[in-house]
Amino acid sequence: MKIAADGEAYRILKAEQKRQVEGLELIPSENYVSKAVLEAVGSVLTNKYSEGYPGHRYYGGNFYIDQAENLAIGRAKKLFKTDYHVNVQPYSGSPANIAVMLAVLELGDKVMGMSLTQGGHLTHGHKVNFSGRYYDFCQYGVDRRTEIIDYSEVEKTALKEKPKMIICGATAYPRIINFKAFSKIAEKVKAILMADISHIAGLIAAGVHPTPFGLADIITTTTHKTLRGPRGAVIFCKDRYAEAIDRAVFPGIQGGPHDHVNLAKAVAFGEALKPEFKEYGKQTVKNSQALAAKLIAGGLRLVSGGTDNHLILVDLGSLGVTGKQAEAWLDEAGITVNKNTIPYDERKPMDPSGIRLGTPAVTSRGMKEKEMKIIGEFILRVLASKGQVTELKIIKKEVTSFAKKFPVPGITK
């Protein structure tokens, strides 16, 4: 039986497909996967149980599953040009980070991470998250004036707090992360250095952002953001952490791996190993900078004054518009972004002063700098409309006919 036979489910699927084709997807953590990745995710490998690791499983029938997992591992090493140990089983980015903490820390240990309100991730020590509740986190952020990570402040805090582990990596930070500086600080205070490259993994693979390999002891990444693979994650580590990491993932926090997703990871890594992916990474950053330039020319203030990567943080404070309003108005016009706190935000996270946007998904549709200028103009018009319904309807029509000209991987391509 096909999904079309289930009217209720099919209607939802079709409507979401249409939304993805007709809208402009600017959430920087999102992307469009290829048909090949979708096929692997939607494959019969979902039927299998395979607790354990290749060659050491608790279930029979894993001959081909072992091949799939080994393919993903081999390609992951090739992609990041590394001989680090690789575990491809984490279900997603958050479980990967929890597994690292379980592997190398004791409950209550001191850890350092970037605060959520300044660009870090929930799992980097936010007080409502598992990380912040069960470990003793101290947090660093960005400099108030430059809005860039202040490495001398990070060093000062590290010397004072003596963390057992330092986490670098971010979820809303538009600038290059200096992994060398972090590794020097970690060495000085004898801390384990963990780099969470979830957002920028695709840019690192494409060679357009510096790599943490060789510098960080442990590296985690999601596979579904700039890397353009299925929802999931991977952990890389130096050999001395390999056994502890593997045991933390299974049986520490997970049971059977999602073998269909792991095959899809292998497929995505294979795609990222092709020369076209280098071009994709370069274009994603060029597009982000072109969009940033357009927004600045339109009078908007960007956090840190611009971007080095795939994402842009806009401070709407001076416009008298909140992040929540801007997100809702843009949604009405078919443009998807997310509201976001800006560093030292005086507003609450549910209605902050900023919006976060990025170019990974629109770049996957083949858009270039010229199109970014057009998208920038749409955004400026939406903000200027102050939410006026008839104006938003007019913009939505234009957005739809513009977006439909660009094929969507996995849907119309």
Write out the residues near ligand PLP by the rule CB under 6 A: 29, 92-94, 97, 121, 123, 169-171, 196, 198-199, 222
* Rg, the chain, Cα only: 21
Q: Is 222 a catalytic residue?
A: yes
- C-beta closer to ligand PLP: residue 34 or 220: 220
CB of 122 to ligand PLP, least distance (A): 8
Question: Of residues 57, 225, 265, 339, which has the active-site annotation?
Answer: 225
| Closest residue to ligand PLP in the complex (CB) | 93
Q: Say if residues 300 and 306 touch (Cβ distance below 8 Å).
A: no
Q: How far apart are CA 234 and CA 212, in angstroms?
A: 15
Question: Of residues 222, 226, 307, 322, which has the active-site annotation?
Answer: 222
CB of 114 to ligand PLP, least distance (A): 9
CB of 258 to ligand PLP, least distance (A): 13
- C-beta closer to ligand PLP: residue 201 or 382: 201
Identify the residue whose tokens are 């970037």. 114
CB of 52 to ligand PLP, least distance (A): 23
CB of 100 to ligand PLP, least distance (A): 11
CB of 398 to ligand PLP, least distance (A): 31
Q: Is 134 a catalytic residue?
A: no
- C-beta closer to ligand PLP: residue 40 or 227: 227
- Would you call 53 helix, strand, or coil by DSSP? strand
Question: Positive or negative CA dihedral for 345, 348, 352, 357?
Answer: positive
- C-beta closer to ligand PLP: residue 57 or 199: 199
Question: Of residues 164, 231, 286, 373, which has the active-site annotation?
Answer: 231
- C-beta closer to ligand PLP: residue 23 or 230: 230
Q: Is 171 a catalytic residue?
A: no
Q: Is 231 a catalytic residue?
A: yes
Q: Is 64 a catalytic residue?
A: no
Question: Of residues 22, 30, 48, 49, which has the active-site annotation?
Answer: 49
Beta bridge pairs of residue 140: 114
**Of 372, 364, 368, 371, nearest to 407 (Cα)?**
364
- C-beta closer to ligand PLP: residue 123 or 254: 123
> What are the b/e assignments for 13-42, b being 16+ CB within 10 Å?
eeeeeeebbbbbbbbbbbbbbbeebbebbe
Q: Angle at which helices 259-272 and 63-79 pack, to 10 degrees?
A: 30
Burial category of 334 from C-beta neighbours within 10 Å (exposed 0-12, middle 13-18, buried 19 and up): buried
Q: Is 78 a catalytic residue?
A: no
Q: Say if residues 125 and 132 touch (Cβ distance below 8 Å).
A: yes
Q: How far apart are CA 163 and CA 194, in angstroms?
A: 12
The number of beta carbons lying within 10 Å of the beta carbon of residue 72 is 28
Catalytic machinery residues: 49, 51, 196, 222, 225, 231
